[in-house]
Structure 1
Amino acid sequence: MMKHSLVLLSFAVALSGCAAMDRLSGKPPAAKDPALATEFAPAVQTTPLGGSGQSAASLDTTSAAEKSAALAVKPTGGERTLGQSVVALGPPAEQGLWVQSELVTAAAKGRVVAPNGKSLAVDLRPGSGGALMSLGAYQALGIGLTELPKITIYGP
């Protein structure tokens, strides 16, 4: 019996600072800070995707003739494989046919080959972090705009 009393007493001492003990003793709960959770972010108005946005075709000002000419470029003897990189769609406002990658150390003319086998002449741009490819290059290679293809990059 004495052991049970000691266990209960030590348990009560351990919980003496808890809110549960306050409730058991009949004390009112501690007042909460009224300044907490009273400020909310202002309402944000959004538009549904595809609503009044612009289509990819309207953003891409690279002509069909430029794309055809870039697709017709054949590999040259002086190029070398710089490596492979997974690319994401670059900013649509930056027009032209280009790839930006950390595999490129200086701006140059080069070529990329997509997973579907299509080859495209592009401007190579040095970059850091994730590789990017222009909207025009994505469309010329027939790659979906939400895809992250692994391309092979060739340069001088």
Structure 2
Amino acid sequence: MKRSLALVLLLSACSLTGTAPDLAPPEGMTRPMPRPDAGGAVVPRGAATADAFDTTTPEERAAAVAAPEPAGEARLGRTVAALGSPANPGFWLETPLVTQAGPGRVVAIANGKSVQLELRPIDGPAGAGSRISLAALRLLEVGLTGLHELEVFAK
């Protein structure tokens, strides 16, 4: 009995770590800076709806759904995409199908609608999933939730 009690006390003492570690970054550490070319509209404070998060203009939306040029595109493949960060404005797809950022287009398999957007690389195998912007999902009219199969083209 005494051994069991001593063992319990000894093991519980192992979980005590003393003071909490300092989680602040070290002095002089470089912090991430916003992209200088981001330039787009900033999401308003307190945004809670898709309309509030979508800061694209009617002109930008019209350009994104304009018919693509018949030549000059390369099919990259299919991906399954979910909604990316609604705080990142614009028309974009983060996908492992590309290794560098560039213009492209996606077609929703469910309804055939397409959107021109920026293709942004992310780590992962080519078959891994992708993240798509709120503005692009709204124009594709496939819903904001769930997983959406997309055909991806690079310009």
Moved over 4 A (4+): 30-36
Q: What is the TM-score normalised by the length of structure 2? A: 0.65
Aligned to 1:18: none
**5+ residue gaps in structure 1?**
1-29, 37-51
Query: C-alpha distance in 1, partners of 2:47/2:88?
Result: 18
Q: Does 1:128 align with 2:127?
A: no
Q: SS of the residue aligned with 1:104? A: coil
TM-score, normalised to structure 1, is 0.64
What's the counterpart of residue 106 of structure 2?
112
Deviation readout 1:35-60 (Å, 9 max, x if unpaired): 97xxxxxxxxxxxxxxx971111111
Larger radius of gyration: 1
Give the alignment of 1:2-151 within 5 angstroms. 33=8, 54-115=48-109, 116-129=111-124, 130-151=129-150
How far apart, in 1, do the equivalents of 2:74 and 2:91 lie?
Answer: 19
TM-fit CA distance, 1:142: 0.8
Which structure's residues are more often helix, by fraction?
Answer: 1
Give me the whole-angstrom Cα distance separating, in 1, the residues matched to 2:91 and 2:70.
18
RMSD of equivalent CA atoms: 2.6
Note the alpha carbon deviations across 1:18-49, whole angstroms, 9 max, x for none.
xxxxxxxxxxxx7795897xxxxxxxxxxxxx
Query: What secondary structure is seen at the aligned counterpart in 2 of 1:73?
Result: coil
